[in-house]
Amino acid sequence: MNKFVVFQLEREQYAVPIEYVISIEKMVEPTIIPQMPDYMVGVVRIRGELVPVLDTRKLLYERSFEETDKTRLVVTTAEDISVAFIVDEAKEILDIPEEAVKQVNMLAYQQTPYLVGVASLPERLIILMDPNRLFAHLEEADEIKEHIHSHQ
């Protein structure tokens, strides 16, 4: 059994392993940083730490997020910084048994190495992702890290 934090994005449910998740926060207005990629909506301070806020919907669907009262920030560890991913709704913490997880086929994996599998549960499918890999996969990851480190 592995514990995952499940969240909604568009019509899909995604999950990240709970050990990567620092916290789930209500959406706050980020401070905009010029010259950053369009999926980085800005930075917020969470418990004294400067955290880049990434538009997950923009990263996965190429559409900007629409804020509602359910919009949340899933704050995760990515290498040596924390990163906040905007999600449409944080659903629950769920135990997903190993045998429910199917690996993503290799072709899809090359384009999306941050998707680590699909949990096939009664009533629903949940896409499992690794937030570290998603962040590391971004072309501007180093730029973002540099900016955060220089402003801490």
Q: DSSP string covering 100-128, please?
A: GEEPPPHHHHHH-TTEEEEEEETTEEEEE
Average pLDDT score over residue span 65-78: 95
- Residue 85 vs residues 74, 100, 120, 124, 127: alpha-carbon distances, Å: 5, 25, 24, 23, 15
User: Could you give the CA distance from residue 23 to residue 42 in angstroms, rounded to a whole number?
Assistant: 18
Q: Where are the domains of the chain?
A: 2-151
Output the pLDDT for position 108.
62
pLDDT, tens only, 76-92: 998 789 999 999 999 99
pLDDT, tens only, 20-65: 999 999 999 999 999 899 999 999 999 999 999 999 999 999 999 9
Q: Return the CATH architecture of domain 2-151.
A: Beta Barrel (2.40)
pLDDT at 12 over 70: yes
